């Protein structure tokens, strides 16, 4: 799913109006009908609604929703705050609402704020066009709503939140639900604004498919459609040689668990066979816990003095290797000997952050998988998640690498300057070893001849989908990294079933 900027969304509306053709007021009605239908499915007529409207088009949406809810038997009161000259569609919907309701009030000061006890508030004060922080009476109203409303439904975007840039969070509606139109907005995917969005509901309103297909964006949300374009089902006559030979450089004394997790995940990703380079201290551990994996010993308690012809289809390094002074030379040697894309994680990233000159030595198209602290050590601090993803995009272009910035809505930046947010995963996956699992998956997919970009997209989606399947049985708190591995099969089955259903 493409993530459009505010200006692109505005042009999308205009394109639809011109080419469907449809009037702007009828397009607003279509959006209001989608919202009222969702609300009617969630709440009974016993619920009381208070709708706060500005007098722009977001307020027009609120007025139309009020009329539709009233026509369906709901008790609704509408409160208006004048912010600027009213839009034409707002005025039309206000006149329509006046014909069926006397419950329309203008708020001139805080003393007239309504009692919100046992009410559901619908927030239609500001839309995505907001570019300055609410102040004065409107800021007071937003704080009042947040403090007193039983539940809050924001229309298109929580009022006070900027869609495309960092928001001064002094006055932002804290919604329980956000009903947004047609596509996800950038702000919804970033940590500092997510708590204001609540549960996100994307409502299609029939905007032009032609515009969506032809207009390019540099940001996308990975969804099932994206995965169908990447995933390759197996040929019945295939054998293990068709699915690649991977190598993982992993483990050290006291951290062989990371090696085990990465290795098991790599095998579960569908790779044909896996060779691991491990220290002697981990030999019995890995051979007994992952018998499908081949092991070669380099070093006693940590990996050193690797000698190999590196005749593999993919290489991953980092999980559990520890931090040792000799690892700088180890990485320099591997980058020189391998000289093709590889997956770099964990202590390999820490080694690079301690020796920044290694960044220039990383083979082009390689995949780095930092969590936010590792990213900060590699590339510097940022003031917000908006700035962090912009920095990731910049560094991907500068060093010609893929950066998988792990977290909720894991973000992938590419050498071409594009970014992808993942749509799967849950807070239960914030557990030790989860990143090692991802490294194994990515390495396995690379060995199966997925391109680095395809491996990143499919890998993070599978990783999150397996975590989502796991919490259905055990909840978020009890999830451990090995559970993600154990549910990879279910994730693959869901993807393959979706592929078959949609493409055959």
* pLDDT tens-place string over residues 173-211: 999 999 999 999 999 999 888 889 999 999 999 999 999
Alpha-carbon dihedral sign for residues 134, 189, 385, 6: negative
The radius of gyration computed from the CA coordinates of the chain, to the nearest angstrom, equals 26
Residue 103 · residue 93 · CB < 8 Å: no
Res 500: pLDDT = 67
Q: What is the pLDDT of residues 134-168, one digit of tens each?
A: 999 999 999 999 999 999 999 999 999 999 988 88
Encode 353-380: b = buried (16+ Cβ within 10 Å), e = exposed.
Answer: beeeebbeebbebbbbbbbeebbebbbe
Alpha-carbon dihedral sign for residues 334, 335, 338, 342: positive
Residue 121 has pLDDT above 50, yes or no: yes
For residues 115 and 76, what is the distance between their CA atoms, to the nearest angstrom? 13
Residue 423 · residue 409 · CB < 8 Å: yes
Nearest to 413 by CA among 349, 365, 466, 342: 365
Question: Which residues have C-beta within 8 Å of that of residue 240, sequence separation ≥ 6?
Answer: 272, 273
User: Does the model's pTM come out above 0.75?
Assistant: yes
Nearest to 401 by CA among 437, 352, 354, 465: 352
Half-sphere exposure of 301 toward its Cβ, with a 13 Å CA cutoff?
5
Q: Report how far Cα 347 is from the mean position of its chain's Cα atoms.
A: 25
Q: What is the pLDDT of residues 371-404, one digit of tens each?
A: 999 999 999 999 999 999 999 999 999 999 999 9
Res 504: pLDDT = 45
């Amino acid at each position: 799913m493409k993530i459009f900027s505010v200006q692109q969304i505005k042009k999308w509306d205009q394109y639809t109006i011109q080419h469907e053709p449809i009037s702007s007021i009828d397009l607003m009605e279509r959006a209001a009908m989608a919202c009222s239908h969702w609300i009617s499915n969630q709440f009974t007529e016993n619920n009381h609604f208070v709708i706060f409207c500005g007098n722009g088009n977001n307020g027009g949406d609120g007025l139309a929703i009020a009329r539709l809810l009233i026509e369906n038997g709901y008790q609704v009161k509408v409160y208006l705050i004048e912010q600027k000259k009213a839009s034409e569609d707002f005025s039309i919907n206000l006149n329509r609402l006046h014909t069926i309701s006397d419950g329309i009030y203008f708020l001139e000061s805080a003393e007239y704020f309504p009692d919100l006890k046992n009410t559901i508030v619908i927030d239609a004060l500001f839309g995505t066009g907001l570019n300055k922080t609410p102040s004065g009476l409107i800021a007071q109203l937003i704080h009042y709503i947040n403090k007193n409303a039983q539940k809050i439904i924001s229309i298109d975007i929580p009022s006070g939140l900027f869609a495309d840039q960092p928001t001064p969070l002094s006055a932002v509606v804290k919604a329980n639900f956000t009903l947004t139109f047609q596509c996800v907005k950038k702000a919804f995917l970033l940590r500092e604004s997510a708590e204001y969005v609540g549960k996100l509901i994307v409502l299609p309103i029939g905007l032009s498919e032609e515009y969506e297909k032809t207009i390019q964006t540099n940001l996308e949300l990975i969804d099932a459609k994206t995965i169908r374009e990447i995933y390759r089902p197996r040929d019945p006559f295939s054998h293990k040689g068709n699915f690649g030979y991977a190598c993982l450089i992993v483990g050290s004394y006291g951290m062989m668990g990371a090696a085990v997790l990465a290795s098991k995940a790599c095998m579960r990703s569908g790779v044909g066979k896996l060779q691991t380079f491990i220290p002697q201290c981990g030999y019995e551990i890995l051979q007994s816990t992952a018998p499908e994996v081949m092991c070669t010993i380099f070093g006693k308690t940590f990996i050193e003095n690797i000698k190999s012809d590196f005749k593999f289809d993919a290489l991953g390094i980092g999980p559990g290797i520890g931090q040792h002074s000799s690892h700088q030379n180890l990485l320099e040697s591997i980058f020189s000997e391998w000289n093709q894309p590889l997956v770099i994680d964990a202590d390999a990233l820490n080694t690079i952050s301690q020796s920044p000159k290694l960044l220039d030595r990383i083979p082009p198209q390689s995949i780095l998988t930092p969590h936010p602290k590792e990213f900060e050590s590699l590339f510097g601090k940022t003031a917000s998640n908006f700035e962090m993803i912009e920095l990731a995009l910049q560094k991907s272009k500068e060093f010609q690498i893929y950066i998988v910035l792990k977290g909720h809505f894991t973000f992938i930046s590419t050498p071409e300057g594009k970014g992808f947010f993942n749509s799967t995963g849950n807070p239960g996956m914030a557990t030790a070893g989860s990143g090692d699992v991802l490294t194994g998956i990515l390495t396995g997919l690379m060995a199966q001849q997925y391109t680095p970009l395809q491996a990143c997209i499919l890998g993070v989606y599978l990783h999150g989908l397996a975590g989502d399947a796991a919490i259905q049985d055990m909840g978020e708190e009890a999830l451990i990294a090995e559970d993600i591995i154990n549910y990879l099969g279910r994730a693959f089955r869901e993807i393959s079933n979706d592929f078959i259903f949609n493409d055959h």
